[in-house]
Structure 1
Amino acid sequence: MLQLPQALLWDHNAHYHPWLLRQVPQRCSRVLDVGCGTGALVRKLVDRADFVDAVDFSAEMIDQASARTSATNVRWLRGDVLDPDLDLHPEGYDAVTALSSLHHMQLRPALTRLASLVRPGGVLAVIGLYRSESAADFATRTVSFPANAAVGAYLAARGRAGKPHDDGMPVQDATIMLSEIRDAAREIIPGSQVRRRLFWRHSLLWRKPV
């Protein structure tokens, strides 16, 4: 990826917060955020849910997230969401979100596990990274580069550029391709929607049948 000047860097993950929030019911009982990082999305989810469980494998991320969050309806869990012994709610969640965390896990086990944590009628909403392979992927990348710079310049001019949530955050390049994600989703969660997005991201949306 071409690197913007430091002054023009901005938070791609935060760009997709509105999309994720639109998938979550305006009012629900329980939400799970997988790979919560420093808790930026969690601090918005707390207004939608009675209880939010926030999971991250990194103890440093959990420490930062809890220190930055004053809400009392959050439970911070350090661990691997694929671990069957992780203390998640036995009745599942009205919404499960995952932002730039799916590519840190094995794809099929992760989709199977996340789907199992969604209550009937609930939603799984994912924004993830993927490795480019097709002509459409590279065409989207071509558009993403100038759009990335334009958004960075726009935010910088308004004093809103920067990546405030990146300190100590684990970084891993995506190795799974969009075609693999689509194939796995079609097999494991039929009816899900996987779409290519700008800024090197894809979305995955699935509503569990009642």
Structure 2
Amino acid sequence: MWIPPLPRALQWDHNAYYHRWLLDQIPRHGGRMLDVGCGHGVLARHLSERADHVDAIDASPDMIDQAKNLSPSQANIRWILGDVLQADLHPDGYDVVTAVSSLHHLPLREGLQRLAGLVRPNGVLVVIGHSQGATPADRALEVVNLAGNAAMGAYLAVRGRAGKPHDDGMPIKEPSDTLAEIQQEAAAQMPGVRIRRRLYWRYSLLWRRPGGTY
């Protein structure tokens, strides 16, 4: 989806906007966590303050190099260059799996299967994703998004907090799946999953794997 660009002074980080909500969905202490499509490692560093260990994976060598350079003191993060669909990750899975603006880079069915399969019993999967606009509701929200995007950019600029410092070199891909398609596929694979349409061209997906064995 093409988004009319704001002046550089008013641009801001839509993904970081949702980090606080995402962190509210996960345990505050301990466990093993995985961040899929870690980019510059901003979210992985937040996770490392709660987790015993974090695996942070990205398919871009540039992103992994930058994440390492920005995280010299985070000894409990393992930076992994690779495709999450094929990478050799922890065989026992993770207590938390996160994916922010990365699921749409994967084939939908295989991506959801892989992410769900990496969640340990009683663990949680949290996704902030992108979908392709297709419905009247999508078009109505587009008007709100455009106005809100400019208003938020101006608000942050006045407070000296605008800018997108973590976007340099970030791979970009347009979403090809509609929200209805994502909801249908996720519900088939993850009973009880909760998906909500969000502002700023995002949706959220939250799923807690029941206890017991895989």
**After TM superposition, is the score higher than 0.5?**
yes
Q: Which amino acid aligns with 1:186?
A: A
Q: Which amino acid aligns with 2:80?
A: L
1:98-117 paired onto structure 2 within 5 Å: 98-117=99-118
C-alpha deviation, 1:28, in angstroms: 2.5
Question: What residue is the counterpart of 1:60 in the other structure?
Answer: 62
Structure-1 separation of matches of 2:40 and 2:63:
5
3-state SS of 1:28 partner? coil
3-state SS of 1:181 partner? helix
Question: What residue is the counterpart of 1:119 in the other structure?
Answer: 120
Pairwise CA RMSD of aligned residues?
0.7
Question: What residue is the counterpart of 1:190 in the other structure?
Answer: 191
Question: What residue is the counterpart of 1:15 in the other structure?
Answer: 17
TM-score by length of 2: 0.96
Question: What residue is the counterpart of 1:42 in the other structure?
Answer: 44
C-alpha deviation, 1:87, in angstroms: 2.5
Structure-2 separation of matches of 1:25 and 1:99:
18
**Does 2:110 match 1:76?**
no
**Does 2:208 match 1:207?**
yes
Q: Which amino acid aligns with 2:75?
A: T
3-state SS of 1:32 partner? strand
Please list the CA deviations of residues 153-204 of structure 1 after superposition, one character each: whole Å capped at 9, or x if unmatched: 0110111100000111101111111011000011111110111000000000
Q: Which amino acid aligns with 2:105?
A: H
Query: Unpaired runs of 5+ in structure 1?
Result: none
The size of the alignment, in residue pairs, is 208
Query: Unpaired runs of 5+ in structure 2?
Result: none
3-state SS of 2:170 partner? coil
**Runs ≥4 in structure 1, deviation > 3 angstroms?**
none
Structure-2 separation of matches of 1:189 and 1:137:
24
